[in-house]
Amino acid sequence: MRVECLDPFVSGLYSVFAALTQDSPERGPLSIRDVCVATQQVTIALSVSGEIRANVLYGMSLVTAQKVAFELIGQPVKEMDERAWSAMDELSKILAKRCIDYADKSGFKCRIDSVSVLQGRGTDVASGGPALIVPLSTRLGRIVIDISIEEPALSEQSEAAARAA
């Protein structure tokens, strides 16, 4: 797993939260899990294809999700009602676009195949390998990023270039 493939998905979240909170998230210690799985109560899930194939989960507690929804809609959020879920859906779209923009700036051509907001823990996401876990602390609460990346398109391009040479 090459670090430059991971960066768009971490930088995308940093950028969105810096704009949302006027503050930068702080990264905790990295770890690896065998699978990409939703471990938090609210999760934004991105499926990416192209030169980078990835499943990325941005998980948070209900309390953090309520604080994020408050920042987005500017009204108190006491429970995850329709307005709050709509705010999380909007955040997922903003985050997906920002990640793709960062990937493009890094020289990777890819696209979002799906973006969704999941409720509850334990949802496994089909992935081609282990997930890097990136915990972040924000002033709104903790966010855990699970990133599982495959790079078959990059190796296929290298093989094609070698055959052509």
161 within some domain: no
163 within some domain: no
What pLDDT score does 161 carry?
A: 46
48 within some domain: yes
The pTM of this model reads: 0.86
Q: What share of the chain has pLDDT > 70, as a percent? A: 85
Can you tell me the distance from the alpha carbon of 61 to that of 71, in angstroms, rounded to the nearest whole number? Answer: 15
162 within some domain: no
For 95-123, the pLDDT digits (tens) are 999 999 999 998 989 999 999 999 987 66
130 within some domain: yes
164 within some domain: no
* Residue 127 domain boundaries: 3-153
165 within some domain: no
For 1-43, the pLDDT digits (tens) are 566 788 899 999 999 988 988 888 899 999 998 888 888 999 9
Report the CATH number that the domain containing residue 126 is assigned in CATH. Answer: 3.40.1550.10
22 within some domain: yes
Distance of CA 34 to the CA centre of its chain: 18
pLDDT at 56 > cutoff 90:
yes
Can you tell me the distance from the alpha carbon of 74 to that of 60, in angstroms, rounded to the nearest whole number? Answer: 19
How many domains is the chain partitioned into structurally? 1
